[in-house]
Amino acid sequence: IEDALRAETVFRKAMEESVSTGLRAIDLKGRIIYVNRAFCQLVDRRAEDLVGSEPPFLYWKKDALTEHWRNLALCLSGKAPKEGFDTIVQRRDGTIIDVHLQISPLIDSQGVQTGWMTAMTDITESRRTRAELEAAHERFTAVLDGLDAAVFVTDAMTDEVLYANRAFLNDDQTYASGIIAQQLLVPQPELGDYPLDPRTLSAEQLPFELFDGELQHPITGRWFHLRERATAWVDGRIVRLVVATDISDLKQIDDLNRDQEARLQRTSRLITMGEMASTLAHELNQPLSAIANYSKGCVNRLKSGDFKQDDLLAAMEKANAQAARAGHIVRRVRDFVRKSEPKRSGVSLSGIVEDALGIAEIEAQRLGVRIHAAVSVDLPAVYADRIMVEQVLLNLIKNAAEAEEGQPPERRVVTITAEPVQDVIEISVIDNGYGISEENRERLFSAFFSTKAEGMGMGLNICRSIIEFHNGRLWVDPNPEGGSIFRFTLPLEMNIEQQPVNA
């Protein structure tokens, strides 16, 4: 008997928790004695916060207490309508939803009423839909005569005009003269015939689009956008429904917009040049620092007299490579401004990482940080600008190394990984630092925001702009082992259509 009772209880509990209707039970004084999961979800409250509470309840709207008290009085008095009633509730985040309540007596096993059971249904969406339908109906009844566009219907067999709105009937030789019906509706050789004669269409083929395009009035010279379709009329016959909109003014505006667009393009180039100036100042610091370090090392060796020619030659070749790289960055920025987009192509991601580490490891060694790159040379090529992506990597690696300052030596490791994810490559830069707070994480990529005392707040903002330009995404996640994981994606070359992309 106990097993059967337990099974029955579990079954009934599962039923109550699985229904989408919110269930709430109150005693005869209005105190909540039961809520199911759906009710908690509707009001966005925990069951333990609701059960045992007395009115006013947590989900009552503060400026609608009079209505809530009145509804509760109807419930407790047994005078609530049988069909239920509508009201509102307020969720924890302040959101207001419309609900429908149905009240029924709560009877115990002895046949005694112990309270009231309420079934709550969210009707926010249905009410919104109903309101939209009513508004749409009101608009529809007024739109035909209120439109500037001509709307008219003709019999497909006889060309008899069955309906015409006010705009069509205006006596301004635009519509009322019948020129459109006679000259534009009738298929003309220079425009091509209709794909199908509307008189031959069956009911299953309706509605059928006959024409959608721009035509010029043969007498007034004004331009119209004409849309015509074959459809069934109220009496079942096939008709042509036509909407003709005068777009002459829009044509003129388009001409003006083209002139304005040319001026805006010149202005945009100036703005882009300003943005690239910030990029240049920020990103050139790394290769210039490398040049300075190599040069200083050579000077110190020469002063000490303890040097090997091969060592000096190797250092100077590296400095020369960095100088060439700095010059290449300047040319890259100059080309970007002039052409409004970098030169993207299929490049090896492992090669980009290798070049980035050549500079990043200098700073990492100064900070006592080890860099571990786990990027396979077998990864498919990405479609990207090599220099810009390398600068993103340099910035993220440098930030990761600085974030580990103060950590024990064994934790000062920056890891770089890359793996295919669907149709992109996802690159991750992982550090073991102190992490980023939730508040700072939301603002991290904003311009001029920095968590560093002397930071300009432009690095990550520029990085995100570069990645978004590549149709990728840059974001940050907390590292479960402590620290942060900066991730960004780049498209695969094989999935890119070789066509111009606006900067």
Tell me the pLDDT tens digit for each residue of 243-274.
888 888 887 887 776 566 445 434 433 443 45
Between CA 172 and CA 177 the distance in angstroms is 8
With cut-offs at 50, 70 and 90, classify the pLDDT of residue 43.
very high
Round the CA-based radius of gyration of the chain to a whole number and report it.
Answer: 36
Q: Where do the H-state alpha helices sit in 284-385?
A: 285-304, 309-339, 349-366
Does residue 31 carry a pLDDT above 90?
Answer: yes
CB count within 10 Å of CB 420 equals: 12
Question: What average pLDDT does this structure show over 317-333?
Answer: 75
- Give pLDDT tens digits for 397-421: 888 888 888 888 888 999 999 999 8
227-231, 284-288, 440-444, 454-458: least confident range:
454-458
Q: pLDDT higher for 128 or 159?
A: 128
165-169, 341-345, 376-380, 459-463: least confident range:
341-345
- Give pLDDT tens digits for 304-318: 877 777 878 888 888
With cut-offs at 50, 70 and 90, classify the pLDDT of residue 439.
confident
pTM of this prediction?
Answer: 0.38
Using DSSP's 3-state secondary structure scheme, residue 208 falls into strand
Between CA 369 and CA 362 the distance in angstroms is 10
Which helix (H) or strand (E) element contains residue 436?
A: none
Between CA 274 and CA 256 the distance in angstroms is 27
Q: pLDDT higher for 277 or 87?
A: 87
Bridge partners, 395 (sequence order): none
Does residue 129 carry a pLDDT above 90?
Answer: no
User: Is the previous residue joined to 342 through a cis bond, with omega within 30 degrees of 0?
Assistant: no
Between CA 144 and CA 139 the distance in angstroms is 9
Return mean pLDDT, the chain.
78
Q: Tell me the two tokens of residue 109.
A: 């096993």
Does residue 276 carry a pLDDT above 50?
Answer: no
Evaluate whether 34 touches 48 at the Cβ level (below 8 Å). Answer: no
Evaluate whether 193 touches 151 at the Cβ level (below 8 Å). Answer: no
* pLDDT, position 67: 92
Q: pLDDT higher for 139 or 407?
A: 407
Does residue 340 carry a pLDDT above 50?
Answer: no
Q: Tell me the two tokens of residue 334.
A: 């100059």
Give DSSP secondary structure letters for 135-188: HHHHHHHHHHHH-SSEEEEEETTT--EEEE-HHHH-TTTTSTTSHIIIIISS--
Query: How many residues can be counted in the chain?
Result: 503
Does residue 498 carry a pLDDT above 80?
Answer: no
- Give pLDDT tens digits for 56-69: 999 999 999 999 99
Bridge partners, 492 (sequence order): 382
| Residue entry with tokens 């015509």 | 228
113-122 and 223-232 beta bridge pairing: unpaired
